[in-house]
Structure 1
């Protein structure tokens, strides 16, 4: 009698228990679904620059692919501190990411940072690569890199760049040390000032990205005499690279990449890597980035980590040789 009663009660209670178990599992299922909300990508630069424009393009395509909005948030600040603090202060759930660039590798040595880009962040993938360009005044007599190098044997050259510690500035310092010429590097506040100095004849050559000087190049004001990459670019196919024109081994390749704060689940990092690499292989994405003077290119997490460490070591040596002091952010 007692067992029959227990069986009857169990039959009555069991459906309710199953319902409760099902409802209780819903939060866990929702938590496992990624992404289930918008993803924020913090950029340590202001709007309108190469990194901002290219990442917005990639974010749009990534949004379409994953079915969630990828929102770009600009957080400029010295050494990327503002952006990095914002990323590190967010939950480690894969919904807040950050853009690192070759400037991040420079900042590791140049600034006393309150974070470590290697230890505190997880690489996802590279996004795009770009080189810098050496440009001379189109009305001047220096039309090729060999001519510039020959002139540097006769007198002191003046190399113009933007602010000390920038990729442009350190690229010029690296060139000065490797080219074996008499040269001095003069920094200016911004690209416009460097261009004005070049057109006025105050400097012999300037180091800058193609994107920043495209207007002056197209207008015939300046002549690109060499690029800093390892091979000729699609946007300046007639312009040789420095290493092939008299300075063997010289190479500067800029990059933008996607990172996450340390602690984000590995499966979410893997998912983001796969989706981002798929976007970067899209022909329309590659064409639109190329028009900006940058080449789309994804990577594995390990490859990105190696690129960051390589550039940290490279620029630390250049900064030391140039005698640039460590700065407060």
Structure 2
């Protein structure tokens, strides 16, 4: 029988067992944090995350280290995060491509159930580009041409955001078009300049050189509004395809089971970094908009994008692929 006199002792022991956990969270982080990026060095996500984590390190008082683990559609990076302790010291970078992979690939994990959202980091749109020496110098001109003949839309690999953005455009514009995937952005650009494709879908950051050199003309952007880095370029929606919108994003996630207090600490610090004028300006120069979120808002963005791209994949008839 549990004696009444023993209750205060039991309560004290229980308090002693619980208190260190909260104290540990209050001291978090006490060691470097790893951020695993599923892309190679030098890409938009890699560069933007390195800028942000440098300032995040200063705010948290601990080094935040970016590690690149590209390959296998993000599976290599994700497995590295899931294989680490769920203590807030190993984080994952997800992008809108992660939402696509939920439907497109047979994954060895569930990106929704197995991860907890922290915050969005940045948003960016794609641009539609044509040969600067060609006759298709606006989206209305492209749509008019598409009513006369079959257009060729160039993108990088099947299932990429660029590729599915082209499929969505083809569907919503109601034109006769063929989406042709290439292995890399330089290959798509070469095909555009050679006249093998009529228009290509890519990020501004990836084609900034071709745009400034006068090789390619951006005729429309996929976002909901004109960007500050290409203010004269209209959106697809305002140029003849109402309702069309594609927004790329990247965000931080942690393995499910990470202490919520630590996720809240990371969210608060990251959002403060993303409000800093210097960080916002530097990211804007890269063609991306710094934008944090609550954990709940990121969860909603992720769920909506999964549903959106699942519908595009189904309508395009793209079969599920093995990674």
Instruction: Decide which moves more: 30-39 or 40-49.
Output: 30-39
- 164, 173, 190: which one aligns with 1:170: 164
Q: Which structure has the larger Rg? A: 1
8 Å contact from structure 1 (residues 227, 239) kept in 2:
yes
The alpha carbon displacement at 1:26 in A equals 8.5
1:84 — aligned with what? Answer: 78
Report SS of the residue matched to 2:226.
coil
Alpha-carbon distance change, 27 to 141 in structure 1, aligned in 2, over 3 angstroms: closer
Aligned to 2:63: 69
Residues 118-133 of structure 1 aligned to structure 2 (within 5 Å): 118-133=112-127
Cα 1:249–1:267 change in 2 (3 A) is same
Which residue does the alignment assign to 1:12? none
Which of 286, 295, 320 is residue 289 of structure 2 equivalent to?
A: 295
Residue 298 of structure 1 and its aligned partner are, at CA, apart by: 0.2
Q: Is the 8 A contact 2:127 2:220 kept in 1?
A: yes
CA distance in 1, matches of 2:75, 2:189: 29
SS in structure 1 of the partner of residue 98 of structure 2: helix
Distance 1:81 1:183 in 2: 32
CA distance in 2, matches of 1:70, 1:278: 15
Q: C-alpha offsets along residues 155-199 of structure 1, whole Å, 9 cap, x if unaligned? A: 111100011100000000000000011111011111011000000
Structure 1 26/129 Cα, relative in aligned 2: closer, same or farther at 3 Å? closer
Q: In the TM superposition, what are the counterparts of 1:143-154 in structure 2 within 5 Å?
A: 143-154=137-148
* 3-state SS of paired residue (2:67): strand
Q: Using the alignment, how far apart are the partners of 2:124 and 2:237 within structure 1?
A: 16
Match of 1:113 among 107, 113, 121: 107
Deviation at 1:321, TM superposition (A): 1.0
Cα distance, 1:300–1:29 mapped onto 2, change above 3 Å: closer
1:57, CA displacement in angstroms? 0.2
SS in 1 for 2:200: strand
Which deviates further from its counterpart, 32-41 or 249-258? 32-41
Correspondence for 2:199: 205
CA distance in 1, matches of 2:24, 2:249: 35
**Aligned-partner Cα distance in 2 for 1:57–1:76:** 19
1:79 positional shift: 2.4
CA deviation profile, 1:108-162 (whole Å, cap 9, x unmatched): 0110001111100000000000000000000000110000001101111110001
Within the candidate set 188, 192, 209, 2:186 is matched to 192
* Residues 226 and 241, structure 1, Cα contact 8 Å, conserved in 2: yes
From 299, 314, 317, the equivalent of 1:320 is 314
SS at match of 1:35: coil
Structure 1 unaligned runs (5+)?
1-21
Q: Are the aligned partners of 1:79 and 1:113 in contact in 2 as well (CA < 8 Å)?
A: no
Q: CA RMSD in A?
A: 1.4
**Aligned residue for 1:284?**
278
Structure 1 residue 31 displacement after superposition: 6.5
Describe how 1:41-52 pairs up with structure 2 within 5 A: 41-52=35-46
In structure 1, the partner of 2:235 is 241
Structure 1, residues 260-283: CA drift from partner, whole Å, max 9, x if none? Answer: 000011111111100000000000
Deviates further, 32-41 or 259-268? 32-41
Helix, strand or coil for the counterpart of 1:154? coil
TM-score with structure 2 setting the length: 0.93
Q: Which residue of 1 aligns with 2:215?
A: 221
Name 1:267's counterpart in structure 2.
Answer: 261
TM-score by length of 1: 0.91
Contact 2:25–2:261, Cα closer than 8 Å, also in 1: no
Task: Provide the rounded CA distance (Å) in 1 between the counterparts of 2:302 and 2:193.
Answer: 35
Residue number in structure 1 paired with 2:134: 140
1: CA distance, partners of 2:112 / 2:139: 36
The number of equivalent residue pairs is 306
